[in-house]
Structure 1
Amino acid sequence: MEKIVLITCWYGPFPWYLPYFVHSCSFNPDIDFIIITDNQEKIPNLPANIKMVSRTVDEIISAASEKLGFRINIDYPYKFCDFKPAYGYMFQELIKGYDFWGHCDLDIIYGDIRSFFTSEFLESYDYISVRHDYTTGCFGLYRNNPLLMNLFKESKDYKKVFSSADHYCFDECNFVWDALTRGESIFDISTPIESFTHVMKKAEHNGLVRTHFDFILMEGITGRLKFDNGTIVYKNKYEVIMYHLFWMKKVFQPTRKITKIPNRYNISASRIYH
């Protein structure tokens, strides 16, 4: 079975939905998760497959700048998003021995990852996006080899992006989600910088990388989702690999601190209830 590690950088107080992330990771014991953070708060019920790595932002800036040969800029936590395609390069010591490395966010509830990412499936791809239209920042998986580790450097603008204080949505598509969702090609859209979607689509076209672009995550405010002992089912019919809480967290704020998550709960269009 291929070894997989997923990396998250999180700075500041942990979000209310962290217990759901942690709980869902515990049902995927053969996948490792690393949270790089300066937060020393103890996380309850932390499973063995989640490793906390304590690093300051300054330590990351110093180490990455030395590797890249120029000074990078991370003035605020959200800027880390621009660096996600470079996590394999920045944190090489953390991905040693793994067949695949990836980046993920904390606003995700996982289903049964291995039921989707079987050995046969992983053998067919070098890069996996969980959307059909652009490289996904909330979750991306890369074969652990020098090509994929260094592929972000194929953008003519990566030095500009990494050294600037501005956020460019480099990990995805430089903010042109709507046009891509309508079916337009990334190469027909004028953008200020060459994003990672440009890079990956070009590598795909040139036959350098076998890519997976397909909508296999669930996101939005859909409702009718059920978490049941490590699986997520939509409308009691369709199993999904993960639920991205990007929109849900904007409309739902728990009134009490969440500590213990049951093995079965439901997600409606307006809240998570159990």
Structure 2
Amino acid sequence: MKKRLCFVIPYFGKLPNYFPLFLKSCEANPKFNWIVFTDDDGNYDYPDNVLKVKMTFKECQTLVKSKFEFHVALEKPYKLCDLKPMYGYIFEEYLKEFNFWGHCDVDTIMGNLDKWLSEEFLERYDKLFCLGHMTIYRNSFANNRVFMHRLKDKLSYKDVLSNERIMWFDEEWNNDYNINRIFLDTGKKVFKEDLSLNISYSYNNFVRGKYVGKDNTTMPFGFEIEQMKKAIYIWDQGNLFRIYSEKGKLKKEHFLYMHLQNRPMKMNFSLLYVDRFEVIPDEFIPCRENTITNDNIDGLCICKSWLVQKLFCQRLIRRIKSFFV
């Protein structure tokens, strides 16, 4: 019997400092698998359901180029973002024992995947989700080659592979030729709802940006930015949720995973040995209270992050330096 789902992650260079917490959240999902292709020699404790495959970026380039009969402009690892929808084809030799495959980012913390991604639910779709930080595909010969489909008289994948710059082929963004449009054009069954806790990079606090589609909002790129919530974000024995106050009542909301968008985060390694931890806007910390109440939630929601100001200063410094180059 084939296994349910395997996520493919090629990552070259130094993995994020909180990668061990990512692995911890993977380990809490034993019915799912991950394969990490990397040249990072860090001494990480990979759980049984996460396979590390030692690979250099040059070896990855060679593998990718062997799959196509035309020039592939894969000069830097970041360009791999555009190739995510092609992983089922590129890495097919590693995926034979799985019914579904997917890609996900490592600047994430997994929630309880089995809560949503049951075998019965997955079998309804050929593709799930519309964003690059997690997408899932049915693992079949034909489905893994849908990215080659001609859309509006255009073979987008050839343009993507021949161009060094990022073209957002892997997700719904500022383009009309991404993989999601191609799957819809072929009549494939696509699950489009956003189940992620996708943290916006434009605020010091945690603010969720939710993809709802360009047809359902006037906001740019089809994303709605929620009103800032007075919330506590918790990972508890594989479950990822937030507790927030609304009109004097506490509410609890679960998520498939949390995407931190490369937000700088501090982490104490002692968290690898506890069952619960909090995620605050610039750090992973031990849970401060066993129970969240209306009496203590205000004191727990204090934000000490200066992310937006730091980003502004970095942009300003780069701009000033550019005048002297």
If the length of structure 2 is used for normalisation, what is the TM-score? 0.70
CA distance in 2, matches of 1:170, 1:67: 18
1:163-210 Cα shifts (integer Å, max 9, x gaps): 22111111113x42xxxxxxxxxxxxxx4x72213212312xxx3x11
Q: Which runs of 5+ in 2 are unaligned?
A: 200-205, 208-230, 244-250, 287-325
How far 1:245 moved relative to its partner? 1.1
User: Are residues 1:227 and 2:235 paired?
Assistant: yes
How far 1:152 moved relative to its partner? 0.9
Which entry has the higher C-alpha Rg, 1 or 2?
Answer: 2
Mark the CA change 1:259 to 1:71 in structure 2 (over 3 Å): closer, same or farther.
Answer: farther
Question: Bigger relative contact order, structure 1 or 2, given CA contacts below 8 A and separation 6+?
Answer: 1
- 2:30 aligns with 29
- 1:137 aligns with 132
How far 1:141 moved relative to its partner? 0.6
- 1:188 aligns with none
Kept after mapping to 2: 8 A contact 1:61/1:73: no
User: Are residues 1:244 and 2:259 paired?
Assistant: yes
- 1:132 aligns with none
How far 1:225 moved relative to its partner? 1.3
| Higher mean displacement: 78-87 or 61-70 | 61-70
How far 1:270 moved relative to its partner? 4.3
Pairwise mapping of residues 125-274 of structure 1 onto structure 2 (< 5 A)?
Answer: 125-129=125-129, 135-155=130-150, 156-173=155-172, 175-176=173-174, 191=175, 194-203=177-186, 207=187, 209-220=188-199, 221-222=206-207, 223-235=231-243, 237-246=252-261, 249-250=262-263, 252-254=264-266, 258=269, 260-261=271-272, 262-274=274-286
CA distance in 1, matches of 2:17, 2:143: 33
Kept after mapping to 2: 8 A contact 1:73/1:164: yes
Kept after mapping to 1: 8 A contact 2:3/2:97: no
Extract structure 1 runs of 4+ deviating beyond 6 A.
Answer: none
Q: Which residue type is aligned with residue 284 of structure 2?
A: I
- 1:180 aligns with none
1:239-265 Cα shifts (integer Å, max 9, x gaps): 21111111xx43x432x6646422201
User: Are residues 1:98 and 2:98 paired?
Assistant: yes
* 3-state SS, counterpart of residue 224 of structure 1: strand
* 3-state SS, counterpart of residue 3 of structure 1: strand
**% identical equivalent positions:** 27
Mark the CA change 1:59 to 1:71 in structure 2 (over 3 Å): closer, same or farther.
Answer: farther
* 3-state SS, counterpart of residue 9 of structure 1: strand
Q: Which residue type is aligned with residue 194 of structure 1?
A: Y
